[in-house]
Amino acid sequence: MNNQPVYHIFSPDAFINDPNGLLYDNGWYHVFYQWNPLFPEGKRIGWAHLRSTDLIHWEDLPPALLPDDWYDRNGCYSGSAIIKDGQIHLLYTGNVRNAAGNREVYQCLAVSEDGEHFLKYPGNPLISGPAEGYTAHFRDPKVFADKDAYAFVLGAQTTAEQGRVLLYRSPDLLSWKFDGALQFDTGSPLGQFGYMWECPNLFALYDTEQQQTHAILLFCPQGLQADGMHFANRFQCGYVVAPGPFEGIRTFCGCTSFEELDKGFEFYAPQVVHAGNRTLLIGWMGMPDEEDQPSKTENWMHCLTVPRELQLKNGKIHQQPAVELQALRGSKRTIEMLTLENESLLLPGFSGDCYDMQLTFDTTQAQTVTIYLRQNQKQSIIISFADGILRVDRSHSRYAPENPIRQVALADATKLQLRVLSDRSAMELFINAGVEAFALRTYLDEDAVQTKVAVNGKATLTEAVFFSMNRA
């Protein structure tokens, strides 16, 4: 059985996790990611490197970073990239376990003149150890241009074990000065919001409804307790939006409440990049400390999401697959204006394990609409919509660890638009033009390929479009 994705980034002989160093330069998209080629027997974390001109055909390049120096000997951990003087600069966290087994952390730099081969800065590390008042959980620098200079945000933990995002500034990418923690309102729930914040992104998005640019802080808090439909994963990923323009980035006072970015099962450590007039995001379709997936027997683990384009509308991020993915579409099937009343139906021709499908329903008179994705006699991914609540259930699959259901409340109970990107063991769902998204791994048998719709009450499938997806 082949679980390997066709159009999601993965490594066929390695464990991968966080995307790193997302960069767009001179028509090239660069993606780096955490990479352990010794999996599952050993651990040696470096950075793999891919590049593309179209976000679908990816060229493998030599590993950008390997843990072969004293300051990163136990792993080249997450970081980011920026162009300076025509060269790619990588900032990353060097992880070290000392003789006593205690963690040491170093923020480091590597530079490439040709975009393929990287040399570590002879003056590494740039920053030795955590800032005063913080523990060695101090990592994941995300760098950006700051007027005529540079800055990065960094995930951190206070000595009181509270998560924070710290800000550093530099005139040259070499000498860095601590500029404090990002500030929130006094008494804000964000003051005590998990014990560690990982993989922060600080960036600007233009709100198309409010017609104003806002600052977005995207981060991954660890230690949140499940709360109804919220915070169901082991660790979370979400964002807050500042009320004004992208200025005065030390403060997020008056920001929105924390909003989970993806409501699915496997989504963590995303990274954002501005590419021309678009803002793109790629996330890790995995979760820390969850390594029991069936692909382990094949000596590989995890993949990345497809590139997603972000838009901000009335303070909420909407996500859609990058338009370039449409170039992978093959044969097309369509259905229009199919009304179902207290019945179920296999959708003819909507069959496969690798596809791009969109289903649009008028649910005004329906009690429940249920969609069975990748179905055979015993298995399927079940999407149900009732009373404005969308549920995703993978309990009927070969990979269904604890808590196999995720759900979200939608603002409009009278319609449902579901776009499904299925890619063998990877699936991404985009709901109502991207107002919500779900990423999940879908290990199913080879004959689990059918699509079925069942309706309690009356619903109309106003439009259905199915494309097979071809290998890039």
Let me know whether 313 and 351 are in one domain: no
Residue 10, in any domain of the structure: no
Let me know whether 370 and 311 are in one domain: no
Which of 112, 170, 115, 117 is closest to 141 using CA atoms?
170
Let me know whether 214 and 359 are in one domain: no
How confident is the model at residue 243, as a pLDDT? 85
For residue 438, the cross-strand partners are 429
Q: Among 289, 321, 353, give the residue marking a domain's end.
A: 321
Let me know whether 254 and 343 are in one domain: no
Q: Among 267, 293, 321, give the residue marking a domain's end.
A: 321
Residue 388, in any domain of the structure: yes
Let me know whether 45 and 170 are in one domain: yes
Contact 283, 270 (CB under 8 A): yes
Let me know whether 390 and 331 are in one domain: yes
* Residue in this structure with the two tokens 């991968």, named with its chain if needed: 16
Residue 4, in any domain of the structure: no
Catalytic residue among 18, 140, 353, 423: 18
How confident is the model at residue 240, as a pLDDT? 97
Q: Among 321, 356, 375, give the residue marking a domain's end.
A: 321
Residue 2, in any domain of the structure: no
**Most distant pair of Cα atoms in the chain: their distance:** 70
- pLDDT by residue, tens only, the chain of 472 residues: 789 999 999 999 999 999 999 999 999 999 999 999 999 999 999 999 999 999 999 999 999 999 999 999 999 999 999 999 999 999 999 999 999 999 999 999 999 999 999 999 999 999 999 999 999 999 999 999 988 899 999 999 999 999 999 999 999 999 999 999 999 999 999 999 999 999 999 999 999 999 999 999 999 999 999 999 999 999 999 999 998 777 657 789 899 999 999 999 999 999 999 999 999 999 999 999 999 999 999 999 999 999 999 999 999 999 999 999 999 999 999 999 999 999 999 999 999 999 999 999 999 999 999 999 999 999 999 999 999 999 999 999 999 988 999 999 999 999 999 999 999 999 999 999 999 999 999 999 999 999 999 999 999 999 999 999 998 7
Contact 170, 176 (CB under 8 A): yes
Nearest 5°: CA angle at 379, between 374 and 383? 60
Rounded-to-10 torsion of CA 364, 368, 374, 380? 170
* Residue in this structure with the two tokens 């990877």, named with its chain if needed: 426
Global confidence as pTM: 0.98
Let me know whether 292 and 217 are in one domain: yes
Let me know whether 269 and 338 are in one domain: no
How confident is the model at residue 402, as a pLDDT? 84
125: cis peptide before it, omega within 30°? yes
Burial of 88 (0-12, 13-18, 19+ CB in 10 A): buried
* Residue in this structure with the two tokens 């600052």, named with its chain if needed: 215
| Total tally of structural domains belonging to the chain | 2
Let me know whether 34 and 75 are in one domain: yes
Structure tokens at 19: 């995307």
Residue 274, in any domain of the structure: yes
The question of whether 18 is a catalytic residue gets the answer yes
315 CB contacts (<8 Å, ≥6 apart)?
A: 207, 210, 214, 241, 256
How confident is the model at residue 413, as a pLDDT? 95
Query: Domain limits at 243?
Result: 15-321
Let me know whether 23 and 161 are in one domain: yes
How confident is the model at residue 401, as a pLDDT? 86
146 CB contacts (<8 Å, ≥6 apart)?
A: 169
Let me know whether 88 and 234 are in one domain: yes
Query: Domain of 331: which CATH number?
Result: 2.60.120.560
Burial of 98 (0-12, 13-18, 19+ CB in 10 A): exposed
Let me know whether 373 and 416 are in one domain: yes
